[in-house]
Structure 1
């Protein structure tokens, strides 16, 4: 390498993709050391321990953070580096990998993802937006999507299921929830404009996809300084079943029940509803979401 070695913290999810990609973390570290980087590898027994160790390692000083895993690890990385200027690298080795998709990184080939990381480490970092969620007494950063409707309920059920392993678990959870799901009444305040409505689904997107490539907002831009609000108005179960496959392809945008809005600050209120952000549980509504332009530096 022509440049002097950088210090990198590499955080690895040992359960990435349900264990199928356990080899990836060691391969990343081995490659980075061979490329001349100073590497601190973090691999803990559970996610909370990993979060604490990673926070400590970043606080002690590093020139970059690399996360190995799926969107849970990407979420960890975003929350570690937001507003610090420390660049984030992602080696996608999970089931969803939506932030990797949005960044144009390999998302279904870990070996190619390692090569892409090495290539991007040589380039100047760039900035993407992130959203800051204020909930209860805490706050959480996200880079992809906040879900607060049918998709959040599906996520909740999928997280409780042990089988099947892999992306089909989300599909099965969706089919089970369809049997009883009803539209909820929401109050949405977007840049100060308040509206009350019933809806099947309310999402706030910074990235174009969630759930392993469901392109809910195909036109979303990670660096436009805006949040995209995606609303699905009340539908029958049969209509919702018909719309959902179109969401995977991103061809739902002209459906009469679908609405897109943009804003910089969004408040979502509803009774007995929960929110997920980048696949991680946030908790009960209400929540307030604000976009922070350029909050996250990413390699290349």
Structure 2
């Protein structure tokens, strides 16, 4: 029986880049995977993509087709959708980055150029990684969701929301512009955290909980995160002045900011995230309402890497 490879595509990803590249991607996949049955699903919105992805994985699980692969082509939203569909199953996830951020792909070792990502899928090298399990009231009404990259909640989340609401999203350039724009309302958030059972109440500019570590199309907010080490990485930035944040800004892209005295790093298996005025965001999208319980779920996803 042929291996089933289901490709779920968001044609609008990357301002239409996915739609333009799809014919070339399909030609490469069919040439490089002659023993596989390739099914293409073009979606019209996020909900239809979610339904189709979960349906494809459920079919593979029901029929015990352990070599089947779910491919998603799009940005971080599509990558998150694919991770949630494949988590805790034998179905492997392949990602063809076609968004403006592609932070999850960057963080787990997936080539960010579409051609290289397709070649990696054909080669089929798999990596087993962790995910962050978020539990609470999710934005879609569910009570849980898997997160691939970073959960943001303070200043970083406001920046993310501004980028999402902008007319044009140019990835890292839009994120940088939003960082500067949000300076006008810069202020601390009163957090209430429980980190591996220890209560922490503190004001902070942001608290980020990372599995893979990247946000905003290249900001390395949790630079020590490893998505296969069985633990979460937490970055806390104390309240700082606008001038200090502007000076820190260039260092965010390389992770060098962690040496600043206002920046703190810790590791945890579980974080209860709560506080007044939090805007939880994850994998580029709204996550839900605080409080949220975030825990590391080790070895729960197989993903194709470069």
Query: What range describes the TM-score normalised by the shorter chain of this pair?
Result: over 0.9
- Count residues with an aligned counterpart: 293
Q: Distance in 1 between matches of 2:158 and 2:171?
A: 18
The offset of 1:26, in angstroms, is: 3.2
2:131 counterpart of 1:130? yes
Q: Deviations over 1:86-123 (max 9, x none)?
A: 1111111111112221232221x21222112211x2x4
Matches within 5 A, 1:69-84: 69-84=74-89
Q: Is the 8 A contact 2:110 2:304 kept in 1?
A: no
The 8 Å contact of residues 152 and 207 in structure 2, kept in 1 or not, is answered as yes
Separation in structure 2 between the aligned mates of residue 147 and residue 236 of structure 1, nearest angstrom: 20
Counterpart-to-counterpart distance in 2, 1:143 and 1:164: 21
Helix, strand or coil at the partner of 2:259:
coil
Any conservation in 1 of the 2:208–2:222 contact (CA below 8 Å)? Answer: no
CA distance in 2, matches of 1:247, 1:103: 19
- 1:280-291 equivalent positions in 2, closer than 5 A: 280-291=285-296
Q: Provide the rounded CA distance (Å) in 2 between the counterparts of 1:18 and 1:164.
A: 8
1:249 aligns with one of 236, 245, 254:
254
Which of 216, 219, 223 matches 1:214? Answer: 219
For 1:246-280, what per-residue CA distance to the aligned partner results, in whole angstroms no more than 9, with x for missing partners?
Answer: 11111111100000011101001111211011111
Distance in 1 of aligned mates of 2:292 and 2:23: 38
How many Å separate the matches in 1 of 2:104 and 2:136?
22
Matches within 5 A, 1:1-300: 5-34=2-31, 35-36=33-34, 37-61=36-60, 63-107=68-112, 109-119=113-123, 121=124, 123=125, 125-136=126-137, 138-163=143-168, 165-299=170-304
Task: Tell me, yes or no, if the aligned pair for 1:98 and 1:210 is still in contact at 8 Å.
Answer: yes
| CA shift for structure 1 position 290 | 0.7
Per-residue CA deviations over 1:51-77 (Å, capped at 9, x if unaligned) read 112212221226111111121111111
Instruction: For residue 280 of structure 2, give the secondary structure of its aligned residue in structure 1.
Output: strand
Tell me how far apart the structure 1 counterparts of residues 93 and 108 of structure 2 sit (CA, whole Å). 11
Contact 2:108 2:212 in 1 (8 A): no
Query: 1:18 touches 1:165 (CA, 8 Å); kept in 2?
Result: no
- Evaluate the alpha carbon distance shift between residue 15 and residue 167 of structure 1 in structure 2; reply closer, same or farther with a 3 A threshold: farther
Alpha carbon RMSD of aligned pairs, Å?
1.6
Post-superposition shift, 1:164?
A: 5.4
CA contact (8 A) 1:134 1:289 kept: yes
- Distance 1:289-1:164 versus aligned 2 partners, 3 A rule: closer
Unaligned 5+ runs, structure 1: none
| Residue aligned with 2:213, SS | coil
Q: CA deviation at 1:297?
A: 0.9
* Contact 1:135-1:282 within 8 A present in 2 as well: no
